[in-house]
Chains A and B, each alone.
Chain A
């Protein structure tokens, strides 16, 4: 005979305002097996939990139903409370009467009716719950960081600091990411390279860190604590172990007309190249799309000049397999493509540049050695117009709905740097709003306006038209004075929206993590678990989760590292006991379940069975490996004989819920 306790939470007024909690408690007290039904202000509070603990002991409860917030919120809290009173934690069920009832409905009568029905369904389910014991699975003490920008580097350094081995997988030939391309950082105006490159070197020299540059993750198997990852090391046609990074090959390479990605295509590099002087690892890479030897089989200059014989034209992609306990995603961002923004003349006017291109134009290691010159005629620009929110905060399908967050600040930085270095230059900034929340951010922006006399104009730029004399006509509206403006500019800089890297989507599929509609990774809880994904063992670092500036990225990177370290410190983790199991007496060994199992958790065994006529027979039956099963339940539906069932979500439990709702 079941002895069930029902506890209805008011959640302050969150539930009690739209659901008559006393009526719910009263209605549920008449349900089958219920021996006690109470309501309380805050069930998740210490005294609320004590209520459960005392009731378990006093009434010798065999099941508990808590009508409260979502189980995604407090299921664990109440399970722990029950466990501490000696009740198996899997005999606790939650009826979600907050997120899925009181917050949705305004009418008290219908919300109360619904809450009662949800409570009845939970009671019907808990009547059929069985005690479950969680198994344990070992944790591989090694972490994988996907992406080698500042987020990935910081995460790897922090995990290595705790004494665990970390691998960084970076798809480019060098780590460093976007921060390596940036000239100065806001709001301190310190040099990005000066603070980033020491970290890159530190990562390379750390005995616990292995860097797989020019590599991609191609397959992920397994689960928390025990992932098996296949890493594709793309052929760079240079032996990494031999190359010293002397750069002689890049000097001698005859193919010098390759757009330089690192400088945003503003100058050219050679077919064999090292992305930039401080690259880590400092190893040359041959671009097979341009290399004359790889394309036509004629050249071979680099292999002749290489004194250590590192050039290997026959190199192929290599695949390595490695086991990891935790995975941190740090795939970062990219500026969006501007091909849909013809009004800004970006595609055909070289003097209309994006902000990241301006970073390179102003960088001492950039195409002009740090002197700001117009890309078209290499003259000094005297009037520069900045356009904010290009592709950000767009209602139409052209751009992104979200605010890219960093543009207001870097535009203020650019404007200030230009005014500082070239006081004869007039700088105009067109904005919708200036958003500067952050430590010392608003002070920074005000300095740009007050001290550096940057002309901030509220309004959007309608059209950018290059003129025959090389100047650019910028047509815009000033919303505050309600005037149409024409500015005769020399350069236009577009503060381009940022979007997640293209590699993020296929990676999310491999990792079985969730993404939002913009392809940013979704965190497990927006406030309480911001660096974890909903998939156990996968953590999020940096701009792959949402637009972020450098300090926020570093903070999140360290937070993700802390979470990963917390996992790696454990020798074993408790598994989910809600796994499938097969009733061998009913199983006919048809293999239907094995075919649908995504984890290969089901195997077949020949077992001896005693038949009714006292003879024995050997039959082939399915058996589930509980350590591998993740509990999706695909097999339970595939099974034609009904032998396969899922702990915690059994056929009879779900049917009991259906019955309770339909009654």
Chain B
């Protein structure tokens, strides 16, 4: 597959308020770089992320979507990230069925103390999505900006 060096993927990151959003802040406080392609949306808990939001992002032209939550067992709301884990697993099988590359969607656990991990994950994910190229299968051309 041809890799377009100039391709800049659009990446949406859903981060839970208590762990991953704070982890993202920490990587900023520590001045750890990751690509500007990543745009973060704050949600109270990773379990607030409806799989519909992920599909919506792909429909609107996102090339990758990553969901970050507290480590299993550390959820601020006790059990939210367990629901997330199950829902994303189901979403994976649906995306597999549709023929959408698995690497475009990722679920990661990043705690409030893991600023370095957050930057690493985002660097890695952006590279993975860059290799996959533009999301053509799920993008709705009617949504594309003229």
Pairwise interchain contact A662-B19, C-beta atoms closer than 8 A: no
The answer to the question of A522 belonging to the interface, with a C-beta cut-off of 8 Å to chain B, is: yes
Contact of A96 (CB < 8 Å), options: B40, B56, B143: B40
* Contacts known (A637-B87, A649-B44); A658 close to B60, Cβ less than 8 A: yes
Query: In whole angstroms, what is the CA distance A222 to B127 when docked?
Result: 43
Pairwise interchain contact A512-B44, C-beta atoms closer than 8 A: no
A70 to chain B, nearest CB (A): 5
* Contacts known (A105-B33, A121-B39, A634-B45); A658 close to B28, Cβ less than 8 A: no
Q: What residue in chain A is nearest B58 (Cβ atoms)?
A: A662
Pairwise interchain contact A632-B53, C-beta atoms closer than 8 A: no
Q: Which residues of chain B have C-beta atoms less than 8 A from A114's C-beta?
A: 36, 39
B45 to chain A, nearest CB (A): 4
The answer to the question of B50 belonging to the interface, with a C-beta cut-off of 8 Å to chain A, is: yes
Pairwise interchain contact B29-A105, C-beta atoms closer than 8 A: no
Most chain B beta-carbon neighbours within 10 Å: one of A105, A117, A632, A659? A632
Contact of A632 (CB < 8 Å), options: B61, B77, B87: B77
A169 to chain B, nearest CB (A): 21
Q: In chain A between 608 and 635, which residues have their CB closer than 8 angstroms to a CB of chain B?
A: 630-634
A554 to chain B, nearest CB (A): 25
Pairwise interchain contact A661-B41, C-beta atoms closer than 8 A: yes
B52 to chain A, nearest CB (A): 8
Pairwise interchain contact A98-B50, C-beta atoms closer than 8 A: no
Q: Which residues of chain A have C-beta atoms less than 8 A from B75's C-beta?
A: 512
Pairwise interchain contact B44-A104, C-beta atoms closer than 8 A: no
The answer to the question of A425 belonging to the interface, with a C-beta cut-off of 8 Å to chain B, is: no
| Total contacting residues, chain A, CB less than 8 A | 52
Q: What residue in chain B is nearest A510 (Cβ atoms)?
A: B78
Query: In whole angstroms, what is the CA distance A96 to B28 when docked?
Result: 11
The answer to the question of A335 belonging to the interface, with a C-beta cut-off of 8 Å to chain B, is: no
The answer to the question of A103 belonging to the interface, with a C-beta cut-off of 8 Å to chain B, is: yes
Contact of B36 (CB < 8 Å), options: A111, A509, A634, A637: A111
A564 to chain B, nearest CB (A): 20
Q: What residue in chain A is nearest B55 (Cβ atoms)?
A: A658
* Contacts known (A99-B24, A662-B60); A634 close to B39, Cβ less than 8 A: no
| Total contacting residues, chain B, CB less than 8 A | 53
Q: Which residues of chain A have C-beta atoms less than 8 A from B68's C-beta?
A: none
Contact of B79 (CB < 8 Å), options: A70, A515, A598: A598
Pairwise interchain contact A634-B28, C-beta atoms closer than 8 A: no
Query: In whole angstroms, what is the CA distance A661 to B39 when docked?
Result: 7
The answer to the question of B22 belonging to the interface, with a C-beta cut-off of 8 Å to chain A, is: yes
Q: What residue in chain A is nearest B79 (Cβ atoms)?
A: A598
Q: In chain B between 47 and 92, which residues have their CB closer than 8 angstroms to a CB of chain A?
A: 47-53, 56-57, 60-62, 70, 73-80, 83, 87
The answer to the question of A106 belonging to the interface, with a C-beta cut-off of 8 Å to chain B, is: yes
Pairwise interchain contact B77-A100, C-beta atoms closer than 8 A: no
The answer to the question of B145 belonging to the interface, with a C-beta cut-off of 8 Å to chain A, is: yes
Q: In chain B between 98 and 115, which residues have their CB closer than 8 angstroms to a CB of chain A?
A: 111-114
Pairwise interchain contact B113-A654, C-beta atoms closer than 8 A: no
The answer to the question of A113 belonging to the interface, with a C-beta cut-off of 8 Å to chain B, is: yes
The answer to the question of B21 belonging to the interface, with a C-beta cut-off of 8 Å to chain A, is: yes
The answer to the question of A514 belonging to the interface, with a C-beta cut-off of 8 Å to chain B, is: yes
Pairwise interchain contact A516-B111, C-beta atoms closer than 8 A: yes
Pairwise interchain contact B76-A104, C-beta atoms closer than 8 A: no
The answer to the question of B12 belonging to the interface, with a C-beta cut-off of 8 Å to chain A, is: yes
Q: What residue in chain B is nearest A113 (Cβ atoms)?
A: B36
The answer to the question of B27 belonging to the interface, with a C-beta cut-off of 8 Å to chain A, is: yes
Q: Which residues of chain A have C-beta atoms less than 8 A from B12's C-beta?
A: 658, 661-662
Pairwise interchain contact B77-A512, C-beta atoms closer than 8 A: yes
The answer to the question of B42 belonging to the interface, with a C-beta cut-off of 8 Å to chain A, is: yes
B122 to chain A, nearest CB (A): 9
- Give A507-539 as 1s and 0s: 1 = Cβ < 8 Å from B's Cβ atoms: 011001011110000100000000000110000
Pairwise interchain contact B113-A637, C-beta atoms closer than 8 A: no
Pairwise interchain contact A646-B44, C-beta atoms closer than 8 A: yes
Most chain B beta-carbon neighbours within 10 Å: one of A113, A121, A661? A661
A126 to chain B, nearest CB (A): 13
Q: Which residues of chain B have C-beta atoms less than 8 A from A638's C-beta?
A: 83
The answer to the question of A651 belonging to the interface, with a C-beta cut-off of 8 Å to chain B, is: yes
Query: In whole angstroms, what is the CA distance A121 to B12 when docked?
Result: 12
Q: What residue in chain B is nearest A508 (Cβ atoms)?
A: B74
Q: Which residues of chain B have C-beta atoms less than 8 A from A655's C-beta?
A: 53, 56
* Contacts known (A509-B73, A662-B62); A657 close to B114, Cβ less than 8 A: no
Pairwise interchain contact A637-B78, C-beta atoms closer than 8 A: no
Q: Which residues of chain A have C-beta atoms less than 8 A from B39's C-beta?
A: 114, 117-118, 121, 661
Q: Which residues of chain A have C-beta atoms less than 8 A from B19's C-beta?
A: 514
The answer to the question of A421 belonging to the interface, with a C-beta cut-off of 8 Å to chain B, is: no
The answer to the question of A64 belonging to the interface, with a C-beta cut-off of 8 Å to chain B, is: no
Q: What residue in chain B is nearest A637 (Cβ atoms)?
A: B50
The answer to the question of A72 belonging to the interface, with a C-beta cut-off of 8 Å to chain B, is: yes
Q: Which residues of chain A have C-beta atoms less than 8 A from B47's C-beta?
A: 596, 632-634, 637
Contact of A514 (CB < 8 Å), options: B42, B43, B74, B119: B74
The answer to the question of A71 belonging to the interface, with a C-beta cut-off of 8 Å to chain B, is: yes
Contact of A100 (CB < 8 Å), options: B28, B33, B74: B28
* Contacts known (A534-B76, A598-B79); A98 close to B41, Cβ less than 8 A: no
- Give A363-384 as 1s and 0s: 1 = Cβ < 8 Å from B's Cβ atoms: 0000000000000000000000
Pairwise interchain contact A99-B25, C-beta atoms closer than 8 A: yes
The answer to the question of B31 belonging to the interface, with a C-beta cut-off of 8 Å to chain A, is: yes
Contact of A598 (CB < 8 Å), options: B57, B77, B87: B77
Q: In chain A between 69 and 88, which residues have their CB closer than 8 angstroms to a CB of chain B?
A: 70-72
Q: Which A residues fall within an 8 A CB radius of B? A: 70-72, 96, 98-101, 103-107, 110-111, 113-114, 117-118, 121, 508-509, 512, 514-517, 522, 534-535, 578, 596, 598, 630-634, 636-638, 646, 649, 651, 654-655, 657-659, 661-663
Known: A522-B111, A654-B43. 7 other contacts (CB 8 A): A512-B75, A512-B76, A596-B79, A634-B47, A634-B79, A637-B48, A662-B62
Closest 9 CB pairs of A and B: A99-B28, A633-B48, A662-B60, A632-B77, A516-B113, A103-B28, A110-B36, A99-B25, A632-B45
> Could you write out 12 A-B pairs with CB less than 8 Å apart?
A70-B21, A70-B28, A72-B21, A96-B42, A117-B39, A512-B76, A517-B111, A534-B22, A598-B79, A632-B45, A649-B43, A661-B12
